[in-house]
Amino acid sequence: MSTTDARAARTAAPGREGGTDWLAHAVLLLGTVLFALPLWIVLMGSSHDAATIGRGEVPLLPGPHAAENYAAAWSRGTTGVPVARMLWNSTVMALCVAVGKIAISILSAYAVVFFRFPGRNLVFWSIFITLMLPVEVRIFPTFKVVSDLGLVNTYAGLIVPIIASATATLLFRQFFLTIPDEFVEAAKMDGAGPLRFFRDVVLPLSRTNMAALFVILFVYGWNQYLWPLLVATSEDVETVVIGMVKMIGSESNTDWSLVMTTCVLALLPPVAVVLLMQRWFVKGLTETEK
């Protein structure tokens, strides 16, 4: 290739890259609008009265009823259950599910990777196979056990049956397999037992992975619908997802302004968790990929 051809190729390349960048930005902008528009409508709708929304008007600007809507939803909701109570129940469930899944999964993965015992691979693959079972296959036998134990309409009934996670166990196992054998040998030479090695070596190395999984599992626990629908029939343990479904269950007298207000309130805890742990979440994902 001559010097002139090389210079021409270098000159043309920025133009092609600029066109590609423009197209990529246009697609990203379109995706952002499509994602954000429903959220904006819900946010604006929470500041209007029920009559405005009932007429089919799509509110794109703030209305004058935000304070009264949020006060009404927080204190009484539309079904007589305060949204504050539903948010508390959902928060307890999501926190316990996230922390419980991480604790059980990291201990299970630690045992499978660092302990030598007959059939350990069989144990792991038995756990892994549960990933391929549909939720519907397991949910009714699980409900029967929970019902026989008298755990319906309790926090334990909401949380314990879904607290184990084959996915988290798999992710921790794959990460533990990347820990150099030199760390294990050095710990043995230092006289560290299994618990000390787990506390002083494995846990510090796993902090970012645990943070990333915490965000994912908190949102997973927060968005649970089918299981709480079966075991949380009492208002005392009703979650916000179930509450919103009940709010719109009667189409004739649905107060859509309070429904939208509840939707906004239900968004706040998971969004707060994602924002507060964003740095750890991204770092955990990138380290997991390595």
Instruction: Summarize pLDDT for 207-234 with one digit per residue, the tens.
Output: 988 998 999 999 999 999 999 999 988 8
Residue 13 scores a pLDDT above 90: no
**CATH dotted code for 73-289:** 1.10.3720.10
Residue 11 scores a pLDDT above 60: no
Give the span between the Cα atoms of 224 and 96, in whole angstroms: 13
Mean pLDDT of the chain: 85
Residue 63 scores a pLDDT above 90: no
Mean pLDDT for 99-108 is: 93
Give the span between the Cα atoms of 266 and 255, in whole angstroms: 17
Residue type, 285: L
Residue 57 scores a pLDDT above 90: no
Residue 1 scores a pLDDT above 80: no
CA dihedral 225, 231, 235, 241 (to 10 degrees): 0
CA 160 from chain centre, in angstroms, equals 17
Give the span between the Cα atoms of 62 and 36, in whole angstroms: 16
The residue whose two tokens read 């697609």 is: 27
Residue 89 scores a pLDDT above 60: yes
Per-residue confidence band for 21, with pLDDT thresholds at 50, 70 and 90: confident
Per-residue confidence band for 285, with pLDDT thresholds at 50, 70 and 90: low
Residue 290 scores a pLDDT above 60: no
Neighbours of 247 (CB within 10 A): 21
- Residue 84's pLDDT is 92
- Residue 182's pLDDT is 87
End-to-end CA distance of the chain: 39
Which residue ranges make up each domain of the chain? Answer: 3-72, 73-289
